[in-house]
Structure 1
């Protein structure tokens, strides 16, 4: 009996040590990820220094078609020839991640459907949020911006759909994962969500802006096809606070980048100006 108690005690100590080491490793991993770069403009790892922090991030400093940018339908080229954005999303298993910079819903295995741009399908990869918004519309910055990230395996191109949010009724997609975000805020890391329907995130309206830019986080990869919806959705203030509290920094938005003579298009299927631009 005494031997059994000793063995049990040793076993419990071993388990406790293992759990402690695992938590320490997790905290180190989360901390190191969050310290790779910063959104603080006063930090030596802030946005203006991203291109110097890692040789693979050089585009953050010397790229010519970087994102985000200021958008306005009054300065954009109106073009109905772009066609409506075709959305073919569907429910699939997803993982919720907190990497210290963003709250991310990851769909694995290209099973969550796609969007179609110029007859090319781009498979849904993830949703993540930036606060405040990274893109501006007619000079206005919004409290939140959702990025729907897509990828085409053949062309190796990235296509991102941006959705802006103003304060109002709560966002239904964030509502689905509120409890999970709170759990990550305490525990960190990631959590399996089961099947998540990306269509719950609203894409109302057909009008949008289209331009070629980059990822808005390191490595700032260029050649990204951006579609930013003109229709502004609503989010409850507490939902934005929930996203903020889960991250290391209160703000995770990159400053506006120079357009550098790029073509920025505005699509409105019902406008005579769009017809004239064809």
Structure 2
């Protein structure tokens, strides 16, 4: 390759970078009040621009431990599972919430119990779904991903347990509990009372084999405070359930999975 070709390639790359930066900077100026984010690739508020929309979201572009990631089994280190992960969930009052970019189950007053990892307890506060799944396994993206979100004693999100699904004949029983509430929230931000919801019915506590790595929130502000637990077992969900989740949220979040992020040398463990 001669120097002229190299110069041309560099010039094109620089123009592309400056163009993207200009789009994102414009979005920051035009969105000082709402500051919402989107998932549409190339959008002013898309994933490439999250780190420019607000100063406190800078980690979305500067962080070195971002999530989600592609979990490649050939580089995973297997370690014995000696009970490092324990669940102490219990039924508690909850609401179903449509945030516009996802559907959430929020337990009220932090009474839904906790998960313990390596001797530290984390309180369960909410769960939500992403479709398609955010984490990849050996480059494969599944149809749905459930996140069980836990906070530490300071109220910071510090542990997320993820469960992946493929579309199959068997609906997900946990998600089935909220069909009516989700239908009533289609295309509108709001809450519906769900009554007493048992987080154990999500069956994330049956995980015997799981991946573990250090990462971040997968939505702004992308804080790098999260211990990730990703179940290796793939569950099933009905196509109609995934379609309902996509129909309920706003158009820009029908496909609400953040693109995978660089591993940057992080270690992935497989507890077996």
TM bucket (normalised to shorter chain) is 0.7 to 0.9
Query: How many residues align structurally?
Result: 237
- Structure 2 CA distance for partners of 1:94 and 1:175, relative to 1, 3 Å: same
1:38 aligned onto 2:42: no
Question: Does structure 2 conserve the Cα–Cα contact (< 8 Å) formed by 1:170 and 1:239?
Answer: yes
Out of 212, 215, 223, the position equivalent to 1:213 is: 215
In structure 2, C-alpha distance between the alignment counterparts of 1:209 and 1:33, rounded to whole Å: 39
Structure 1: gaps spanning 5 or more residues:
1-31, 269-278
Partner of 1:20: none
The 4+ residue runs of structure 1 with deviation greater than 6 A are 32-35
CA-to-aligned-CA distance 1:114-138 (integer Å, 9 cap, x gap):
1110111111010100000000112
* CA RMSD between the two structures: 1.8
Residue 263 of structure 1 is aligned with which of 262, 267, 270?
267
TM-score normalised over the length of structure 2: 0.83
Superposition deviation, residue 149 in structure 1: 0.2
Structure 1 stretch 154-163 or stretch 32-41: which is displaced more?
A: 32-41
State the Cα distance separating 1:155 from its structure 2 match: 8.1
TM-score of the superposition, structure 1-length normalised? 0.81
Structure 1 residues 104, 157: CA separation in 2 closer, same or farther (over 3 Å shift)? Answer: closer
Q: Deviations over 1:198-254 (max 9, x none)?
A: 111122440000000000000001020000000011100000000000011320000
- Checking the alignment, whether the CA contact within 8 Å between 1:34 and 1:100 is kept in structure 2 is no
What SS is found at the alignment partner of 1:36? coil
Structure 2 gaps of 5+ residues are 1-31
Distance 2:214 2:266 in 1: 8
* Counterpart contact for 1:208–1:267, Cα < 8 Å: yes
Give the CA deviation at 1:68: 0.2
1:238 to 234, 237, 240: 240
> What is the SS of the residue equivalent to 2:226?
strand
The 3-state SS of whatever aligns with 1:192 is strand
Could you tell me how far apart the structure 2 residues matched to 1:157 and 1:170 are? 29
* Secondary structure of residue in 2 paired with 1:48: helix
Instruction: Kindly indicate whether the alpha-carbon contact (under 8 Å) linking 1:132 and 1:141 is maintained by their aligned counterparts in 2.
Output: yes
Contact in 2 for aligned 1:70/1:256 (Cα 8 Å): yes
Residue 174 of structure 2 is matched in structure 1 by: 173
Structure 1 residues 74-83 or 222-231, which shifts more?
Answer: 74-83
For the pair shown, the structure with the greater C-alpha radius of gyration is: 1
